[in-house]
Amino acid sequence: MSTIVKSAPIPPSRQREKPGQQLKWIGKNIKRVEDPRLLTGQGRYIDDIDLPNMLHAAVLRSTRAHARIKSINVTAAAALPGVVKVLTGADIARTTGPLPCFSNPPVEQRCVAVGRVRHVGEAVAVVVAESRYIAEDALDLIAVEYEDLPVMVDPEEAVKATGDGVLHPERGPTNIAIQRRFTFGPVDADFAAAARIVRRKLRWPRSGAQPLETVGAVAEYESGAGKFTIHMNSSMYNYVGWTMALSLGVPAHKINLVPVIAGGSFGSKLFTHKVCVLAASLARICGRPVKYIEDRIDNLTACDNHGSDRIYDAELALDANNRMIGLRCKVLDDYGAYFQYGVGHHGNALSQIVGPYRIRSVDLQVTAVLTNKCQQGAYRGFGSEVANFVIEWMVDAAVDELGLDSVEFRRMNFIRPEDFPYKIPTGNLYDSGNYAAVLDEALRLLDYEGWRKKQAEYRKQGRYVGIGIASCQERSVFSATEFWMLNEEAGFALTSSPEGVSIKIDPLGKIVVSLNAPFWGNSPETMATMILAEQLKVDPVDISVAYSDTDHGLAGTGPGGSRYTVMVAGALVGAAGILREKLFRVAGHMLEASPGDLELRDGKVGVKGAPGLEKTIAEIAMHAHFFRLSMPDDPTLTSGMDAAYTYDHPLTTLPSDDRSDLGIFYPIMGHMCHMPVVEVDVGTGKVSFLDYVAVHDCGTLVNPMTLAGHVRGGTAQGIGTALYEQYYYDADGQLLTANYADYLMPTLHELPENVRVGHVETPSPYTEYGIKGGGEGGRMGAPPAICSAIEDALRPLGIKVDALPITPRRLRTLIREAHAAVA
Amino acid sequence: MTTQTIAVTVNGVRYERSVEPRLLLSDFLRHELSLTGTHVGCEHGICGACTVLLDGLATRSCLCLAMQADGASVETVESLGRVDALHPMQQAFWEKHGLQCGFCTPGMLMCAVELLRANPNPDRDAIVEAIGGNLCRCTGYQNIIASVERAAELQRTVSEAA
């Protein structure tokens, strides 16, 4: 059946605040308003929350990767003085149902396993005790009898498994969770007509965010009100937090989720349903508040959010003029034992799968397989970091095979400034960009030519120095369609991903902004303060920021997908507009002037062209709060000075029914160019950095200092992914890197001394002030850039990298093989 | 479990407490004394977030028993400054954007304070040596180095003025 799919038109821009204005706060390096309390140890993270009469939980975790639970004996544990309850999965299941799952059809998951464990670290039993020490003592007294089942570790084996090797037989007789092929554009014709096809196979390793604070929750249940209060360091609670109520079997208004600041997330504290539901369930069972904080092993073995784990077969088609025309990828994705987010990671990657290049056709076959590992979730990039790696790695392969210049090849294939807004084959739109400008800035900042000369000198001295290049996309501001559009059946096909704020000006003129999403290590308070100070022309010290719980919150999708600054700016502009109107109405009455003749000026409202004819915001606010009867008797003019506004996604359209066009779902398109200079010690396999340049274009800069902080931090994580980090499971499904002595993250000693950050600003035509997101970029650009630099350094040996991480040991193996081949 | 009485001076205040011999110093500070500025990141001595000064020496409080601090003096991040009167090290971290999520920060601050007491003019290598055993997952460390350098500068300014 051939149907012609007509793309929906590009919706008009709803931008109110244009880029390029003279601004007082936006664009400046402002010290973060969050910092003084964090620096003095007054942050109030989740483990700092104590409630009266509170109990402590500890979790017994499976030592087996795949097994039936034959019996659990809790008698000795329950008898230990100080123990209040010992509960198995079956006990918890009496009051608490399966956890929320965003895939369709869902994969059933419980906060404590019932009958069967599917990965090492899965919760088997819980002890609640008067102290965490006693709870952990009691764990040692629980006896579990397992009946081992075949362990699925290798995804290529797991897809073939039958019988007891199938993890979730109730879902069908296979471990394949989803297998689906998507084609966009004339991909078969492009490959048939190609002058050259470049082919590679690649392994992207499972790594993880490793925030230094684990996930935790402190829950209480008021039996009189039948209501839960859950303090937690999660996000998305004002978006999908209500789904936890379904697990707990109560209406959503009987659960209040209270945010605390998070000690890092990088995506990995998205939702965190297991911990929150478990703590709440225990509080109800015990009739007392319960604290459960993951310890580090809990988090490493059983968090919600291991990163992507994929095997790629990739093919790139080029025409006779060395233009890239088609991309084909077969991906096998090792999702682990549960499937909480479905294949949303691949939907995410399809937003920018052609990178910054004019590739006109794409063929993607995704096979998601379930294995006996911890589940995948979100980690800085949400799958797009892998697609970035693949496209850049194919570009490098093409450059290498064709003997071309990697800078000029990129430049020739770039989408050009005049092409925007540019619809890529998958249907997503790139709103704006200037990729050559970013490349040129990186070349200049690095002194690329100078480094090439130095490299030649080093080669003569027998030193292996390489220069890497990666020119990558950084999509920002997701639309909710990415959650479901790749499923065979859409399930809950939501299309909203809003962000709200509420603002109150108190009678003395001070301002409180309530956000509906948490602090995650980003700078939401600083961003809100800067943008609102700009909007209302007030001093930032007169603004404070609060975080709404779900009882009081508006819609808030929260940080993730590099969306927060863009979205909260939209909400603040909307709410400030409402406040401005009311300030002008009240001030107009006080000044006997028409609101149309008024303007904001440094904490005051005044009559245009009449200096001195003005009222302070404090005077106006006092009037609005307490002098109702001295204002006109107009029912639309109510007491108080407050506003709320919910901002929806600035530019999104629906996917087509046949998914040949995924619609516009991730259009606010940032870009980056990373250029590391590395030296490889061929004797030890150690990679060290001689220089590193990272130029980012995140549209209009709000705070260059904090954006550079994100770039450097993300780059450090990208270096970890490229060179060191891996959740390594052995053939029995044991996680061999389940502590920080074995799971190796970069310390100061492994990182570049100076990641030199540059900025290019190509404002978005669709967002307020032209801001684009910038939270994930470093990790989305560093891995291909480093891989490229290592291959460049080892070019005399002809070494190609086909798997990350490129550990010293792995590199030594490649070098040894290369020397053997020469000898 | 039996308990034992210890006397520890924390941030200049002497505390006498009866504790279980197995109680970690980190838990003693956080849960017995409610000094929650000391953070516990890994609980196995790698990350360094829980670093405090024990008789002036940077010590991982998650690898130390409260009893080992009996008779000793402990300094935590709460000993440094207040939000309206930051210690030069805190001021420098603020100015140089030396933190993002803030979870590793108390450990970094205490290591850096120890360094500057012994060496008011540290070069980069000395700073790397002092804080290179602590993990930070947000910053890539670069601004932390810059913060310690800035703190040394601030302290010199203060001491020259005095």
Same domain, A566 and A521: yes
- Packed helices B88-95 and B142-161: angle between N→C axes, nearest 10 degrees: 130
CA distance A32 to chain B (A): 7
Q: Do residue A513 and residue A634 come from a single domain?
A: yes
Both structure tokens of B30: 């956080």
Q: Does B24 touch chain A (CB under 8 A)?
A: no
CB B138 to CB A713 under 8 A?
A: yes
Question: Distance (Å) from the C-alpha of residue B10 to the closest C-alpha of chain A?
Answer: 15
Instruction: Evaluate whether A168 touches A326 at the Cβ level (below 8 Å).
Output: no
Domain end (from A647, A678, A696): A647
Interface list for B 44-103 with A (CB within 8 A): 44, 46-47, 49, 76-78, 80-83, 86, 90, 93-95, 97, 99-103
In single-letter form, the type of residue at position A289 comes to: P
Assess whether A404 and A519 both reside in one domain. Answer: no
State CA A496 to chain mean position distance: 18
Terminal Cα distance for chain B, rounded: 52
Residue A68 covered by a domain: no
Q: Write down the mean pLDDT value for chain B.
A: 97
Query: Can you give the CATH number for the domain in which A517 is found?
Result: 3.30.365.10
Enumerate residues 697 to 736 of chain A having a beta carbon within 8 A of any beta carbon in chain B: 705-706, 708-710, 712-713, 715-717
Assess contact for A334 and A390: CB atoms under 8 A.
Answer: no
CB distance from A375 to chain B under 8 Å? no
Q: Indicate the fold that domain B4-79 takes in CATH.
A: Ubiquitin-like (UB roll) (3.10.20)
Residue A4 has pLDDT above 50, yes or no: no
- A466 and A511 fall within a common domain: no
* Strand A642-647 versus strand A499-505 pairing type: antiparallel
Strand partners of residue A180:
A366
SS3 A813: helix
Ramachandran angles phi, psi of A165, nearest 5°: -80, -5
Q: Are B49 and A212 an interchain contact pair (Cβ–Cβ within 8 Å)?
A: yes
Ramachandran assignment for A545, one of left (phi > 0), alpha (psi -120 to 50 degrees), beta (any other) = beta
Cβ A521–B143 below 8 Å, yes or no? no
| CB contact B18 to A (< 8 Å) | no
- Residue A544 near residue A515, CB atoms below 8 Å: no
- Contact state of B97 with A209 under an 8 Å Cβ cutoff: no
Q: Which of A37, A38, A269 to mutate to test the interface with B (most CBs of B within 10 A)?
A: A38
Chains A, B: CB contacts within 8 A come to 168
Task: Determine the distance in angstroms separating the CA of B104 from the nearest CA of chain A, rounded to an integer.
Answer: 7
User: What residues 165-194 of chain A have any CB closer than 8 A to a CB of chain B?
Assistant: none
Q: State the smallest CA–CA distance between residue A684 and chain B in angstroms.
A: 21
d(CA B21, CA B68): 9
Distance from CA of B40 to the nearest CA of A (A): 8
H/E run at residue A207: none
Q: Is residue A126 in some structural domain? A: no
Taking contacts as CB-CB distances below 8 angstroms, the residues of chain B near A779 are none
- The model's pLDDT over A556-571, given as tens digits with 9 standing for 90+, comes to 999 999 999 999 999 9
The answer to whether residue A3 scores a pLDDT higher than 50 is no
Residues on chain B touching A262 (C-beta within 8 angstroms): 101
| Residue A232 belongs to some domain of the structure | no
Identify which of A708, A693, A686, A707 has the alpha carbon closest to the alpha carbon of residue A806: A686
Interface confidence: ipTM more than 0.95: yes
Instruction: Based on the fold, state whether residues A435 and A562 are members of the same structural domain.
Output: no
Strands across the sheet containing A67-73? A116-117, A67-73, A143-148
CA distance A390 to chain B (A): 24
| Residue-range definition of the domain harbouring residue A517 | 35-42+498-647
Q: Are A263 and B140 a contacting pair at CB < 8 A? A: no
Mean pLDDT, range A329-354, rounded to an integer: 96
For residue A296, list chain B residues with Cβ-Cβ distance below 8 A.
41-44
Rounded to 10 degrees, what is the CA torsion of A50, A55, A58, A60?
A: -160
Alpha helices in A447-517 (DSSP H): 448-460
Q: Are strands B57-60 and B51-54 parallel, antiparallel or unpaired?
A: antiparallel
Sequential DSSP letters for A726-793:
---B-TT--BTT-STTTS----GGGS-S-EEEEE-----SSSGGGB---SSHHHHHHHHHHHHHHHHH
Chain A interface includes B15 (CB < 8 A): no
**pLDDT class of A83 with cuts at 50, 70, 90:** very high
A150-167 pLDDT, tens per residue?
Answer: 999 999 999 999 999 999
Which region holds residue B110: left if phi is over 0, alpha if psi is between -120 and 50, else beta? alpha
Task: Pinpoint the alpha helices (H) of A537-661.
Answer: 564-591, 617-626
pLDDT, tens digit, 9 for 90 and up, residues B74-116: 999 999 999 999 999 999 999 999 999 999 999 999 999 999 9
- Both A526 and A451 in a single domain? no
- Burial of A544 from C-beta contacts in 10 A (0-12 / 13-18 / 19+): middle
Contacts of A755 in chain B (CB under 8 A): 140, 142
Kindly state whether residue A309 falls inside one of the protein's structural domains: no
Contact of A520 with chain B, judged by CB distance below 8 Å, is answered with yes
Asked if residue A800 and residue A694 are part of one domain, the reply reads yes
Is residue A439 predicted with pLDDT exceeding 70?
yes
Q: A591, A613 in Cβ contact below 8 A?
A: yes
> How does pLDDT run across A630-658, given as a tens digit for each residue?
998 999 999 999 999 999 999 999 999 99
**What per-residue string of b and e applies to A290-310 under the rule 16 or more CB within 10 Å gives b?**
bbbbbbbbbbbbbbbbbbbbb
Tell me the residue ranges of DSSP E strands in A391-441.
422-423, 429-430
- Mutation target vs B (from A30, A39, A526, A754; most B CBs, 10 A cutoff): A39
> Measured between CB atoms, which of A264, A740, A753 is closest to B138?
A264
Asked whether residue A640 falls in the same domain as residue A764, the answer is no
Measured between beta carbons, the chain B residues lying within 8 angstroms of A38 are: 99, 102, 105
Q: What is the mean pLDDT of residues A691-710?
A: 98
Of A43, A706, A710, the CB nearest to B102: A43
What angle, 0 to 180 degrees and rounded to 10, lies between the N-to-C axes of helices A524-536 and A564-591?
30
Q: Looking at the DSSP assignment, which residues form a beta bridge with residue A270?
A: A235
Among residues A595, A612, A647, which one ends one of the domains?
A647
CA distance to A357, A468, A794, per residue, from A409 (Å) = 10, 14, 21
pLDDT at A777: 87
- Interface test with chain A among B27, B100, B123, by most A beta carbons within 10 Å: B100
Please check whether residue A743 lies inside any domain of the structure: yes
**DSSP structural state of residue A375:** P
> How far is A791 from A794, CA to CA, in rounded Å?
5
Tally of domains in chain A: 2
Measured in angstroms, the CA of A213 and the nearest CA of chain B are apart by 5
Pairing of strands A290-293, A310-318: unpaired
Amino acid at A257: L
Q: Is the pTM higher than 0.90?
A: yes
Would you state the pLDDT for residue A490?
85
Residue A85 has pLDDT above 90, yes or no: yes
Closest alpha carbon to A399 in A350, A469, A327: A469
Sheet order of strands, A604-607 included: A598-601, A604-607, A614-616
> What are the residue boundaries of the structural domains of chain B, listed by start?
4-79, 88-161
Task: Give the mean model confidence (pLDDT) for residues A400-409.
Answer: 97
Task: Give A750 to chain B, closest Cα distance, Å.
Answer: 10
Residue A235 lies in a domain: no
CB pair distance less than 8 Å for B137 and A713: yes
Q: Which residues of A530-540 are buried (b: 16+ CB within 10 A; e: fewer)?
A: bbbbbbbbbeb
A503 shares a domain with A389: no
Give the residue-averaged pLDDT of A436-447. Answer: 98
3-state SS class at A116:
strand
The CB density around residue A800, as the number of other CB atoms within 10 Å, is 15
User: Looking at the partner chain, which of B93, B101, B142 has a beta carbon nearest the beta carbon of A39?
Assistant: B93
Q: How confident is the model at residue A516, as a pLDDT? A: 97
Burial class (CB in 10 A: 0-12, 13-18, 19+), A79: exposed
pLDDT level of residue A823 (50, 70, 90 thresholds) = low
Architecture of domain B88-161: Orthogonal Bundle (1.10)
If one counts every other C-beta atom within 10 angstroms of the C-beta of residue A786, the result is: 29
Q: Are residues A582 and A628 in the same domain?
A: yes
Report yes or no on A488 lying in a domain: no
Average pLDDT rounded to a whole number, residues A385-414: 97
Any domain includes A567: yes
Backbone CA torsion sign across A313, A319, A322, A323: negative
Chain B residue at shortest CA distance from A44: B36
The answer to whether the Cβ–Cβ distance between A740 and B38 falls below 8 Å is no
H or E element, residue B104: none
* Closest CA of chain B from A57, distance in Å: 16
**pLDDT at res. A1:** 34
Mean pLDDT across chain A: 96
What would the pLDDT profile of A94-127 be if each residue is shown by its tens digit? 999 999 998 888 999 999 999 999 999 999 999 9
Where does A510-620 show beta strands of DSSP type E?
511-515, 543-547, 598-601, 604-607, 614-616
Query: Which helix H or strand E contains A98, and what residues bound it?
Result: none
pLDDT at residue A6, rounded to an integer:
55
- Write the pLDDT tens digit of every residue in B126-158: 999 999 999 999 999 999 999 999 999 999 988
Exposed / middle / buried, residue A70 (Cβ in 10 Å: 0-12, 13-18, 19+) = exposed
Q: Which residues pair with A83 in a beta bridge?
A: A129
Residue A383, classed as helix, strand or coil, is: coil
